[in-house]
Amino acid sequence: MKILYFILFVGLCNSALAQDAAVGLFDNHGDIGHPKNAGSSQYDKVTHTYTLRGSGYNIWFNRD
């Protein structure tokens, strides 16, 4: 039984570490799909501002 608990504990730790770091009020962040240019996000605690960078293709019309 102890082995089962250990395996569950290790699995939970791995999934928690796989999450991206929190940014400001948000729990995590990440790209959707596999964009050519990876996005990024930053939060400035002094000015309380977010800086987001990303790219996409034809996001306003028929190819989101």
pLDDT single digits (tens) 4-35: 555 656 665 544 444 457 888 888 888 888 88
Tokens 């964009």 — which residue?
35
**Residue 50 pairs with which residues in a beta bridge?**
43
Structural domain span for residue 38: 21-64
43 domain-assigned: yes
For residue 57, being part of any structural domain is answered with: yes
Q: Is the residue at 9 inside a domain? A: no
- In Å, what is the CA distance from 10 to each residue of 3, 5, 14, 19, 21? 11, 9, 6, 15, 19
1 occurs within a structural domain: no
User: Is residue 52 included in any domain, yes or no?
Assistant: yes
Q: 26 in a domain, yes or no? A: yes
Number of domains present in the structure of the chain:
1
Q: pTM of this prediction? A: 0.50
Looking at residue 38, its pLDDT comes to 87
Residue 28 inside a domain? The answer is yes
Q: How far is CA 42 from CA 22, 29, 50, in A?
A: 10, 10, 6
